[in-house]
């Protein structure tokens, strides 16, 4: 089993949506055997639900239900268990590596991992929609879906 770990700040928006999208896609038409995603937040409160706007846009756009998601604070065991750690921002990546520098070989921003040098002049961060309107959540969800489709394509080639 290959474990993918998506990381953001509170684990109620971006990483939660990424986990939901990834697991939905790999269990659906784009089957990818032996791969599962989890998510966690650098500053998460264990047990918070997913953001209602994140729930709504994933359901509307992709038919994905993340209403049962419970946030999880990132810990060393999660980092060690993960085969690939994909953060939403460069600062999330830097926080992980400041604590566990030995995990550098498996820690990337999601954009770095998927896009590589293709967009090296672009920010490697997925913007946080927290506190924004529903339109920002939709933009974020669409961006995550695009990146996760690229991630799945890359994983299938490995």
**Catalytic center residues:** 8, 14, 128
52-62 and 14-27 helices, crossing angle to 10°: 30
- Report which secondary-structure segment, H or E, holds 111: helix 110-115
d(CA 41, CA 15): 8
CA angle (79 as vertex; 9, 38 as ends), nearest 5: 65
């Amino acid at each position: 089993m290959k474990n993918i770990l998506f990381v953001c700040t509170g684990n109620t928006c971006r990483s939660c949506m990424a986990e939901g999208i990834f697991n939905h896609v790999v269990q659906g038409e784009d089957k990818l055997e032996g791969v599962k995603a989890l998510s966690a937040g650098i500053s998460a409160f264990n047990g918070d639900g997913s953001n209602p706007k994140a729930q709504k846009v994933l359901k509307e756009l992709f038919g994905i239900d993340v209403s049962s998601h419970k946030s999880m604070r990132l810990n060393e065991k999660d980092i060690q268990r993960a085969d690939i750690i994909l953060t939403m921002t460069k600062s999330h990546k830097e926080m992980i590596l400041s604590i566990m520098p030995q995990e550098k070989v498996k820690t990337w921003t999601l954009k770095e991992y998927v896009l590589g040098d293709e967009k090296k002049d672009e920010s490697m961060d997925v913007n946080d929609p927290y506190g924004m309107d529903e339109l920002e959540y939709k933009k974020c969800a669409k961006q995550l879906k695009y990146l996760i489709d690229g991630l799945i394509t890359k994983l299938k080639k490995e």
